Amino acid sequence: MTVRIYVPRDAAALALGAEAVAETLHREIAGRGLDVKIVRNGSRGLHWLEPLVEVETPAGRVAYGPVSAADVAALLDAGLAEGRPHALCHGLTEEIPFLKGQTRLTFARCGVTDPLSLEDYRAHRGLTGLEKALAMDPADVVREVTDSGLRGRGGAGFPTGIKWKTVLDAAGPQKYIVCNADEGDSGTFADRMIMEGDPFVLVEGMTIAGLATGATKGYIYTRSEYPHAVKTMRNAIVAARAAGLLGPSILGSGRAFDMEVRVGAGAYVCGEETSLLNSLEGKRGVVRAKPPLPALQGFLGRPTVVNNVISLASVPIIMDRGAAYYRDFGMGRSRGTIPIQIAGNVRHAGLYETAFGLTLGQIVDTIGGGTASGRPVKAVQVGGPLGAYFPRALFDTPFDYEAFAAKDGLIGHAGITVFDDTADMLKQARFAMEFCAIESCGKCTPCRIGSTRGVETVDQIARGIEPEKNRDLLTDLCNTMKFGSLCALGGFTPYPVMSAMTHFPEDFRPTPMVEAAE
């Protein structure tokens, strides 16, 4: 019987040498005359073990990692093709605690299947959600999504079903589903992993959104920094069209939906939905004032659903298993699961999908295993470049939209970046202002000018020039940005800045030596 060996083609695996591993494996297998088929899967999300090679055995899939090309021959000698022990072997993949502890709903297939095989997709419960949606009234599909409690995973946490209802009720000959795949937040990679590891789930989710709202055309707007995701997504769309899953008659239903991928051009602000729509229309990615809501006047002024990749990719399982199944996970008003992306200076970096409600400390210390450097954790930034820095003292905060907001933070796209005690929080605050200055769309003065003034002010504090006055000035500046900015780039940049200054005041006090040098 042909043995299947899995070597991921996820960008994180490729960045760590997966291509060379696959090539060497091909060569060695041919040389040894083994009956092996190599499958290029997505990533399981255990990134510290990438490239993670798996082999199918009667007992289940067995994992080896991190594997380098130089390890391949020895691994085959040790009996990798039969799942035999080796120093790099971790036993059954599903039994690895990091994976076993997860609740994989949205990511159920990611890393398991061949991303571009529709056959594989179907064999793993793919398209059952779509089939159900095809048999329902649009309003009932919208109600199912509303009842699931799904909130937008792009950052703002707006209820997805309510947004869909607005578009369903809007009149218009042409409506659109726009998938926000601009994932610019540092510390996040869930969208990328889905697009590379299970692209059909996004195709299915967008198609269901189209059926639910009466939209017949979809766009995936993603980043030029994600060439692998772009390629996989485009191939998946071609395959879906060929199989009659997309096109004039979805699965023979007589109802139409089609989509294409569009690539941005290196502007963080284009992740903001109205800036994204301008960019999609071929304009400068400047933020639009709301109202009008994109749901009513979005792409080309027409009714448009703008949803994050993970929001849309969570819809198929909601339709498949029912709203109650999804809603039963989570806490408070944060229902279902969230793919937490654990990044930065952390031992077990990767993607961990779980119900809302774990504490930050559990995520960082227990699941993440503390820092990669082995030094104490100093701070974690939650929610990307606009998210707050949390000190250990706040590690009891549960992962939940409202709980984070109550601590002057945000979940955002659920990225967590860990810093050890060598981090200089003044430097991090400076970077937050600098990033805002680089990426500002330029529409608001507080954001455009304030961020540059912010960098200068932090520099003054660092040099010990009137530190007290400048700390007050920085606070004022943050307030002006917070309340005087049109969008969250200018409006939320104060979160990392103020949290750094509030929780780590010692880093904002010039050392006597610096003062003496002035």
Which DSSP state fits 104?
-
Contact 88, 65 (CB under 8 A): yes
**248 alpha carbon, distance to own chain's centre:** 31
- Contact of residue 486 among ligand FMN, another protein, ligand SF4, none (CB under 5-8 Å per partner type): ligand SF4
Under the criterion CB under 6 A, does residue 186 sit at the interface with ligand FES?
A: yes
Contact 75, 28 (CB under 8 A): no
- Contact of residue 184 among ligand FES, another protein, ligand SF4, none (CB under 5-8 Å per partner type): another protein
**What count of Cα atoms within 13 Å lies in the side-chain half-sphere of residue 355?**
13
Would you say 165 or 302 has its CB closer to another protein? Answer: 302
Nearest distance, CB of residue 178 and ligand SF4, angstroms: 19
Nearest distance, CB of residue 304 and ligand FMN, angstroms: 11
Chosen residue from 31, 79, 135, 158 binding ligand FMN by CB under 6 A? 158
Tokens 């955002």 label which residue?
412
- What whole-number distance in Å separates Cα of residue 271 and Cα of residue 249? 31
Q: How far is CA 465 from CA 4, 100, 431, 472, 476, in A?
A: 64, 53, 19, 13, 17
- Contact of residue 73 among another protein, ligand FES, ligand FMN, none (CB under 5-8 Å per partner type): none
Would you say 440 or 480 has its CB closer to ligand SF4? Answer: 440
Would you say 430 or 443 has its CB closer to ligand SF4? Answer: 443
Under the criterion CB under 6 A, does residue 235 sit at the interface with ligand FES?
A: no
Chosen residue from 306, 317, 319, 349 binding ligand FMN by CB under 6 A? 306
Residues 358-387 close enough to bind another protein by CB under 8 A: 372, 381, 385
Residues 135-154 close enough to bind ligand FMN by CB under 6 A: 152-154
- Contact of residue 265 among another protein, ligand FES, ligand SF4, none (CB under 5-8 Å per partner type): another protein
Under the criterion CB under 6 A, does residue 445 sit at the interface with ligand FES?
A: yes
Nearest distance, CB of residue 455 and ligand SF4, angstroms: 15
* Tokens read off for 465: 């020039």
- What whole-number distance in Å separates Cα of residue 238 and Cα of residue 243? 9
- Contact of residue 471 among ligand FES, ligand SF4, ligand FMN, none (CB under 5-8 Å per partner type): none
Three-state SS across 207-247?
HHHHHHHCCCEEEEEECCCCHHHHHHHHHHHHHHHHCCCCE
- What whole-number distance in Å separates Cα of residue 342 and Cα of residue 358? 13
Contact 176, 304 (CB under 8 A): yes
Which DSSP state fits 312?
H
Would you say 45 or 490 has its CB closer to ligand SF4? Answer: 490
Tokens 């060439």 label which residue?
227
Chosen residue from 72, 142, 319, 486 binding ligand FES by CB under 6 A? 486
Contact 70, 88 (CB under 8 A): no
Under the criterion CB under 6 A, does residue 489 sit at the interface with ligand FMN?
A: yes
Beta-strand ranges (E) seen in 301-443 are 304-308, 330-331, 334-335, 337-344, 350-355, 377-382, 389-391, 415-420
Interface residues with ligand FES (CB under 6 A)?
186, 443-445, 484-486
Interface residues with ligand FMN (CB under 6 A)?
152-156, 158, 180, 182-184, 269, 271-273, 306-308, 311, 487-489
Interface residues with another protein (CB under 8 A)?
11-12, 14-16, 47-48, 50, 183-189, 191-192, 217, 224-228, 262-268, 279-286, 299-300, 341-345, 349-351, 372, 381, 385, 415, 417-420, 423, 428, 431, 435, 438-439
